[in-house]
Chain A
Amino acid sequence: MNNKLYGNLIFELSKTGRKGYSLPKTDFQHSTSELPKALLRQNEAELPECDELTVVRHYTNLSHNNFGVNDGFYPLGSCTMKYNPIINEEIAAMKTFAGLHPLQPADTCQHALELYYALQESLAELTGLSEFTLNPCAGAHGELTGLMIIRAYHESRGDEKRTKVLIPDSAHGTNPASAAVCGLDVVEVKSLANGTVDVDDLKRLIGECGDEVAAMMMTNPNTLGIFEQAIPEITKLVHDCGGLMYYDGANLNPMLGECRPGDMGFDVMHINLHKTFSTPHGGGGPGSGPVGVREGLEQFLPTPRVVLREDDENGVAFHVETGDYEKTLGSVGNFFGNFAVMLKAYTYILTLGRENIKMVGPLATLNATYIKESLKDVYELPIDGLCKHEFVFDGLKDKSTGVTTMDVAKRLLDYGYHAPTIYFPLLFHESLMIEPTENESKETLDSFIAVMRCIAEEAKNDPELVKTAPHNTPIGRVDDVLAAKHPIVTWRQLKAEQ
């Protein structure tokens, strides 16, 4: 990675008359000047004009300002920054897949539909649920889809007043946000001092409004990386009051090989393929958020659906179906999801196979536990005990130095690590959430542990050094307030400022 900023914008490299493309000569007789003038744009789009090499250098240089999993250790809690296998990219880019049009006849794309179907089936097996839709494009999109399924289920039974969703106070912000978009009201469930759901508080809430509960949303392990041991009791309480259990698959990784959401009693869940199934985060997308349901809820899944069906003409074949699902919640995207991402996930499943996939959870958990145990004498571990794939420190143990979690995170950048997730979950003031994933070696973890200890030392001996970090990155800390107070979000605005 750069330690000096490459700071150009492509617009600043543009020069009128430069060209970065070539197109074939054509001799068709038509031109858009035939269109009524009222339908044509009057103001030209000021797009950059650059030669090809300038463009190549620009984006190559920009990439050097970035830090990816391939650059170094990325212990970003709740994000599961595992290795993104190279072969996945090659498979997804094959012309036979990348060149498919989503509406071409089904008998010309049986291969793609077969893989799509196989992934649906594999996810059902891995989670202990009945059927999956792969249509949602991201985790949050999956959550929304899952909640729509739940509402469609209640409405199909004429149970219109179930508009409340129980969500633990430790939950990620998307849970309540998805509930709100789905037209549901959020009821917060308290956590105990040990970070798990307060079952007594849950009982109280169910006593107050049990007949209005549409669902309870949970991750397990929860956002602290702690397994909710009371899950059988919790699912029973919610089911008994007529609600459904929603599993946020953000923390599915440590469960691989050990425990399936369906067996825990969950009815609906989403999976982040970009976490558990190794597809790249791409700087914030594209993700993929398949949603699974238990038996009996399949009819509410969104359309289109990819099914295996027998007909007179073709025998057994794969089909994309949109009609004939009377109880479907509707559609949540243009077509049937982020297909290229699914190919990567399925390639990953095949690469691991049944013998290796069951080791993912235990090794991810071992790696997290190893870091936790190696650092808990210098960082504050608010909740001791078993963790799963991640855990949370509440800042440095020694609070007298004034060095905050933010400072520790920024100092880590100087040492060539991505920062952990900070100030989440909101249960602690100085949350520092670490998730190493199963792909990291003992040597990588040992180096990270050594650096974390070194930063703790620096905090004692030279706190200013840590408070003013980072020092070795392309830029220093940024002024967030300036950006929000006077938003400049386009080149046009930027030019007007100059």
Chain B
Amino acid sequence: MNSQTKQSPLPWGGDGGGFKFFPHTDEDLQAMLKVAGVKSLGDLYADVPDSIRFRKDYDLPEAQSEIELRQLFESMADLNAPLTCFAGAGVYDHYAPSVVQNLIERSEFLTSYTPYQAEISQGTLHYIFEFQSMMTELTGMDISNASMYDGATATAEAVMMAFANAKKATKVLVSETVDPKTVRVVETYAKFHGIDIVKIAQKDGVTDRNDLLAKLNEGEVAGVVVQAPNYFGIVEDFTGFADAAHEQKALFIINNVASDLAILKTPAEWGADIAVGDGQSLGIPMSFGGPGVGYMCCTEKLIRKMPGRIVGMTKDNRDQRAFVLTLQAREQHIRRQKATSNICSNQSLMALYVTIYLSVMGKQGLREAAEQSYAAAHYLCDELTATGLCKLTYQQPFFNEFCVTFNDLKADDILSECADYGIAAGVKIDENTLMLAVTEQRSREEIDDLVSIIKQMKEEKV
């Protein structure tokens, strides 16, 4: 080692043993420090009071090479094979054609920032415009924003939007059949925002119409929130809900599982003012619950009250059609505390998953996947109830998810037994009730296996 190496402020010195994300050679460093007018990297922090300087080493693992990283993650993967998934409750194991993941990984999409510089961001702006268009087609609504974090926060934002829209209101009504995870988020936002959340009772697994009307009649209601299919998988009939809400000047908000809108009556057809939900079912991996994507659509009247990014069409100075972030006067970077929301990003790349997915599936493919999910779920329901071990918890129409209550088997035992066979058998609702979801990915064989494992459990018990 020569003396120059010893003085090097870099941990790898001048020996050529640099780190792959730091291009600075020792020579570069000396030249740059000179221009910076300091003697050492430490001098760049001379303004940080000594009392708060961090002088230790972080208590973290040492640097890992790619080979070591792979070994680490693959060894973990070996211990945890993916399960055959019958779990749902907001996240569904639908299939995404290979095209989707491949195109998503294009670095021009992946490594770009929010499209503020429209001139070099038309790729992002185009697909967001397409995403907005597709979401309005699915929901039937007039307007869509560029996406939200997830369905739960989108619902909470819709509740705040309804509250801001109302002149004299203190509360928002939320049906008890809405996913409790969504309700928890709505209640959290509402609590800090000064909105009362009042629950609409459920009856036989669906929103109790009489309770809704009674609570609307009490007045001071800014909005009404329902879900379809609801938390239990039931497709509810919302006939008359919108009119009743509007009579009290309340906004009607429907939360959907996006893919199911291929078949189900749209929020627009039900008379909703705001449509929200999760778009994960449209081509996004389950990824342990995130990232997914939330969507928010509304009527044209409400466009300037909407939170989040919106992309609109315009022209450039060469008279070409172009797209741009628009209506930014609603947003935090302009309006600060008077903005419609604090959200400053969207789930852009996740919106791209949805957009590419819907482009390859098209209107026919989306319907077909939904039909197959429906048919497979009903087949599973038939087979399960035919065992005589359980019955359908609610005698209501359902889509691709349903609850069954077992006579004496415990939900926990079923989940744990099936996990041993590599199956996620659903989500526990209560001690004896299990909720199961089926997508087009589940074969007859997989469904039959699940049923026979449960049957066998009963036999072993006897």
Tell yes or no: A358 within 8 A of B by CB: yes
Tell yes or no: A316 within 8 A of B by CB: no
**A277 nearest CB across to chain B (Å):** 12
Which residue of A91, A285, A331 contacts B349 across the interface (Cβ within 8 Å)? A285
Whether the pair B90, A334 counts as a contact (CB closer than 8 A) is yes
**B292 nearest CB across to chain A (Å):** 7
Chain B 73-87 per-residue mask, 1 if CB under 8 angstroms from chain A, else 0: 100110111110101
Tell yes or no: B149 within 8 A of A by CB: yes
- A479, B326: Cα distance in complex, Å: 10
Tell yes or no: B311 within 8 A of A by CB: yes
A335-B314 contact, Cβ under 8 Å, with A104-B424, A286-B349: no
List 29 interface pairs A-B (beta carbons < 8 Å), by A numbering: A21-B97, A39-B264, A45-B140, A62-B127, A81-B113, A95-B77, A97-B77, A102-B286, A110-B79, A112-B80, A128-B54, A138-B345, A140-B345, A180-B342, A186-B336, A229-B47, A286-B290, A331-B181, A334-B278, A340-B288, A349-B60, A350-B72, A356-B21, A370-B35, A409-B117, A413-B119, A418-B120, A468-B317, A474-B120
Whether the pair B143, A104 counts as a contact (CB closer than 8 A) is no
Tell yes or no: B451 within 8 A of A by CB: no
Whether the pair B76, A96 counts as a contact (CB closer than 8 A) is yes
Chain A 13-32 per-residue mask, 1 if CB under 8 angstroms from chain B, else 0: 01000111101101111111
Whether the pair A59, B103 counts as a contact (CB closer than 8 A) is yes
Whether the pair B36, A65 counts as a contact (CB closer than 8 A) is no
**B382 nearest CB across to chain A (Å):** 8
Whether the pair B103, A335 counts as a contact (CB closer than 8 A) is no
Which residue of A44, A101, A280, A374 contacts B110 across the interface (Cβ within 8 Å)? A280
Tell yes or no: A324 within 8 A of B by CB: no
- A391, B41: Cα distance in complex, Å: 17
A29-B379 contact, Cβ under 8 Å, with A335-B288, A480-B326: yes
Chain A 258-294 per-residue mask, 1 if CB under 8 angstroms from chain B, else 0: 1110011100000000000000111111110000000
Whether the pair B111, A281 counts as a contact (CB closer than 8 A) is yes
Tell yes or no: A366 within 8 A of B by CB: yes
Nearest residue in A to B103 (C-beta to C-beta)? A59
- Chain B: how many interface residues by the 8 Å CB criterion? 201
Q: Which of A68-76, A200-208, A239-247 has 4 or more CB atoms under 8 Å from chain B?
A: A68-76
| A-chain residues with CB within 8 Å of residue B61 when the two chains form the complex | 350, 353-354
| A-chain residues with CB within 8 Å of residue B334 when the two chains form the complex | 173
Which residue of A47, A339, A441, A493 contacts B24 across the interface (Cβ within 8 Å)? A441
Whether the pair A283, B288 counts as a contact (CB closer than 8 A) is no
| B-chain residues with CB within 8 Å of residue A97 when the two chains form the complex | 77, 287-288
Tell yes or no: A87 within 8 A of B by CB: yes
Which residue of B91, B120, B443 contacts A66 across the interface (Cβ within 8 Å)? B120
**A226 nearest CB across to chain B (Å):** 8
| A-chain residues with CB within 8 Å of residue B97 when the two chains form the complex | 20-21, 52
Which residue of A76, A282, A489 contacts B311 across the interface (Cβ within 8 Å)? A489
Tell yes or no: A209 within 8 A of B by CB: no
Q: Which of A2-10, A394-402, A450-458 has 4 or more CB atoms under 8 Å from chain B?
A: A2-10
Within 8 A of B (CB), among A45-89: 45-50, 52, 55-56, 58-60, 62-71, 74, 76, 79, 81, 83-85, 87, 89
> Number of contacts between A and B (CB, 8 Å)?
686
Nearest residue in A to B378 (C-beta to C-beta)? A30
- A374, B32: Cα distance in complex, Å: 10
Nearest residue in B to A20 (C-beta to C-beta)? B360
Whether the pair A98, B287 counts as a contact (CB closer than 8 A) is yes
- A181, B278: Cα distance in complex, Å: 22
Tell yes or no: A105 within 8 A of B by CB: yes
Q: How large is the interface on A (under 10, 10 to 19, 20 to 34, 35 or more residues)?
A: 35 or more
Whether the pair A26, B376 counts as a contact (CB closer than 8 A) is yes
Whether the pair B368, A186 counts as a contact (CB closer than 8 A) is no
Whether the pair B82, A99 counts as a contact (CB closer than 8 A) is yes
Whether the pair B133, A490 counts as a contact (CB closer than 8 A) is yes
A281-B114 contact, Cβ under 8 Å, with A140-B343, A259-B54: yes
Nearest residue in A to B64 (C-beta to C-beta)? A350
Whether the pair A104, B118 counts as a contact (CB closer than 8 A) is no
| B-chain residues with CB within 8 Å of residue A128 when the two chains form the complex | 54
| B-chain residues with CB within 8 Å of residue A334 when the two chains form the complex | 90-91, 150-152, 181-182, 185, 278, 289-290, 292
- A468, B355: Cα distance in complex, Å: 34
Whether the pair B288, A112 counts as a contact (CB closer than 8 A) is yes
Whether the pair B150, A108 counts as a contact (CB closer than 8 A) is no
A28-B379 contact, Cβ under 8 Å, with A36-B237, A492-B133: yes
Which residue of A29, A63, A333, A373 contacts B123 across the interface (Cβ within 8 Å)? A63
Residue of A94, A96, A441 with most chain B CB atoms under a 10 A cut-off:
A96
- A373, B343: Cα distance in complex, Å: 35
**A12 nearest CB across to chain B (Å):** 10
Whether the pair B371, A32 counts as a contact (CB closer than 8 A) is yes
Chain B 179-206 per-residue mask, 1 if CB under 8 angstroms from chain A, else 0: 0011011011101111000000000000
Within 8 A of A (CB), among B128-144: 129-130, 132-134, 136-138, 140, 142-144
Whether the pair A362, B41 counts as a contact (CB closer than 8 A) is yes
| A-chain residues with CB within 8 Å of residue B82 when the two chains form the complex | 95-96, 99-100
Given A333-B152, A341-B290, A354-B62, list of 18 further CB < 8 A pairs? A20-B97, A28-B444, A45-B363, A46-B137, A70-B107, A114-B76, A177-B332, A181-B342, A257-B54, A263-B52, A281-B113, A282-B109, A333-B150, A347-B73, A362-B45, A370-B35, A475-B320, A484-B312
Question: Which 4 A-B pairs give the minimum distances between C-beta atoms?
Answer: A353-B63, A330-B188, A335-B289, A102-B289
- A103, B83: Cα distance in complex, Å: 12
Whether the pair A284, B83 counts as a contact (CB closer than 8 A) is no
| A-chain residues with CB within 8 Å of residue B49 when the two chains form the complex | 229, 231-232
- A482, B19: Cα distance in complex, Å: 49
- A208, B291: Cα distance in complex, Å: 44
A32-B370 contact, Cβ under 8 Å, with A48-B359, A50-B362: yes
Whether the pair A41, B265 counts as a contact (CB closer than 8 A) is yes
- A386, B110: Cα distance in complex, Å: 33
- A58, B126: Cα distance in complex, Å: 11
- A97, B370: Cα distance in complex, Å: 25
Whether the pair B362, A47 counts as a contact (CB closer than 8 A) is yes
Whether the pair B101, A84 counts as a contact (CB closer than 8 A) is no
| B-chain residues with CB within 8 Å of residue A48 when the two chains form the complex | 358-359, 362
| B-chain residues with CB within 8 Å of residue A418 when the two chains form the complex | 113, 117, 120
- A171, B258: Cα distance in complex, Å: 37
Which residue of A9, A282, A369, A492 contacts B348 across the interface (Cβ within 8 Å)? A282
Within 8 A of A (CB), among B334-377: 334-339, 341-350, 352, 355-356, 358-366, 368-372, 374-376
**B400 nearest CB across to chain A (Å):** 10
Within 8 A of B (CB), among A456-474: 468, 470, 473-474
| A-chain residues with CB within 8 Å of residue B273 when the two chains form the complex | none
Tell yes or no: A478 within 8 A of B by CB: yes
Residue of A47, A231, A339 with most chain B CB atoms under a 10 A cut-off:
A47
Within 8 A of B (CB), among A350-377: 350-359, 362-363, 365-367, 369-370, 373-374
- A154, B32: Cα distance in complex, Å: 48
A492-B62 contact, Cβ under 8 Å, with A49-B364, A137-B153, A335-B288: no
